[in-house]
């Protein structure tokens, strides 16, 4: 029964803090829905989580209200109030219903033109991005996941905002680059792609298990592991001193990822934004104090200025070179990307001069 399935899924999200894919998988193991297409059920589950803040009562009551069609996509009330000061919140909320799937063609393992032709022959509908030649926007993600290119890591699901973050590093052959918060590894593999597997890349993360999974993933992506150096550290206490460039894609509230991970709607709090803002500040200060490099690219997948612009009001910044025409934010030389404007995750990106 659909109600039982959705109520159980909501339990896993509320009580266990699981993201939607994990909650859905665990719910499938214990609750069967006969005669239901599970791709369709996944989309229903996604919409339930997106609608969470408009639903009232206990879990079962929330699910009843949702199944009766009495719902709308709403951010938490405190977030709506804060974000309304600088963006059209209702427009943003409407856009969250659409899941934009961006896909990077991995030139470490495949040729762009050959991949495009093969995907077309396999019935994948896509549009080549106008800013980044190896990036496509896919209409039917389920068809993509059935292709040999997806199985072989010749194509990698990676949001355009994430791709543009790495582009702004201006990776050159033979560069020495530090990534202060590297897992799960998509950006690291893109750095190696842009540097044609010649970059000396130092990958740090606080979680040793995430680093182990990252190593396994990079191998599958065709990365030259002789050029990869794994550093298990808390980057608020950095041990790496010299490089050409630094990437800090900082831990954050993930509020910019709601369309792709709607479970964030359930667990997003003001306290979480404050916590991550303080952590980000420590990581920025530590990098500036300890690393001798030309510059640091800072990126965060958050909608809140507290996790982006507000860090850089008094720091020496420069406009990051990002493909495409985009307005820069006065005073901090950063850019903002939004789901309802750019069809990407919500991101902030800037460039801090370290010299």
In this predicted structure, the answer to whether residue 1 has a pLDDT above a threshold of 90 is no
Per-residue pLDDT at 327: 84
**Tell me, what's the pLDDT at 174?**
97
- Say how far apart CA 110 and CA 229 lie, in whole Å: 25
pLDDT tens-place string over residues 272-285: 999 999 999 999 99
Alpha helical stretches, state H, the chain: 2-16, 20-30, 38-50, 59-67, 77-83, 89-95, 112-121, 141-144, 148-151, 160-167, 186-194, 208-220, 264-267, 270-290, 339-342
Q: Return d(Cα 38, Cα 205) in angstroms, integer.
A: 35
CB atoms within 10 A of CB 151: 10
pLDDT, tens digit, for every residue of 235-258?
999 999 999 999 999 999 999 999
Cα dihedral sign, 320-321-323-327: positive
Helix or strand holding residue 225 (H, E) = none
Q: How far is 295 from 111, CA to CA, in rounded Å?
A: 31
Average pLDDT of the residues in 297-318 = 95
Nearest 5°: phi and psi at 37?
A: -75, 120
Half-sphere exposure of 302 (CA within 13 A, CB side): 26
Question: What's the token pair of residue 31?
Answer: 């609750």
């Amino acid at each position: 029964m659909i109600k039982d399935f959705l109520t159980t899924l909501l339990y896993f999200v509320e009580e266990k803090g699981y993201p939607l894919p994990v909650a859905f998988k665990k719910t499938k193991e214990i609750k069967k829905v006969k005669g239901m297409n599970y791709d369709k059920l996944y989309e229903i589950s996604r919409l339930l989580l997106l609608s969470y803040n408009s639903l009232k009562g206990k879990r079962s009551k929330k699910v009843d209200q949702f199944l009766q069609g009495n719902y709308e996509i709403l951010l938490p009330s405190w977030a709506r109030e804060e974000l309304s000061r600088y963006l059209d919140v209702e427009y943003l909320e409407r856009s969250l219903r659409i899941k934009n799937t961006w896909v990077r063609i991995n030139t470490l393992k495949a040729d762009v033109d050959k991949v495009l032709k093969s995907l077309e022959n396999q019935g994948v509908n896509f549009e080549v991005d106008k800013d980044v030649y190896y990036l496509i926007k896919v209409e039917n993600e389920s068809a993509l996941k059935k292709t040999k290119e997806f199985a072989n890591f010749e194509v990698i699901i990676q949001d355009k905002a994430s791709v543009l973050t790495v582009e702004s590093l201006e990776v050159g052959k033979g560069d020495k680059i530090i990534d202060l918060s590297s897992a799960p590894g998509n950006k690291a593999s893109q750095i190696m792609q842009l540097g044609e597997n010649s970059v000396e890349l130092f990958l740090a993360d606080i979680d040793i298990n995430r680093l182990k999974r990252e190593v396994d993933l990079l191998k599958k992506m065709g990365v030259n592991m002789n050029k990869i150096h794994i550093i298990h550290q808390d980057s608020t206490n950095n041990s790496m001193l010299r490089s050409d460039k630094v990437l800090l894609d900082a831990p954050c509230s993930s509020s910019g990822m709601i369309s792709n991970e709607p479970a964030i709607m359930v667990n997003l709090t003001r306290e979480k934004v404050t916590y991550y803002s303080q952590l980000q500040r420590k990581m920025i200060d530590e990098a500036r104090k300890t690393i001798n490099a030309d510059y640091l690219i800072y990126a965060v997948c958050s909608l809140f200025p507290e996790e982006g612009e507000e860090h850089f009001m008094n720091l020496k910044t420069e406009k990051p070179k990002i493909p495409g025409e985009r307005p820069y934010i006065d005073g901090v030389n950063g850019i903002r990307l939004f789901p309802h404007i750019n069809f990407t995750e919500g991101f902030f990106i800037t460039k801090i001069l370290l010299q």
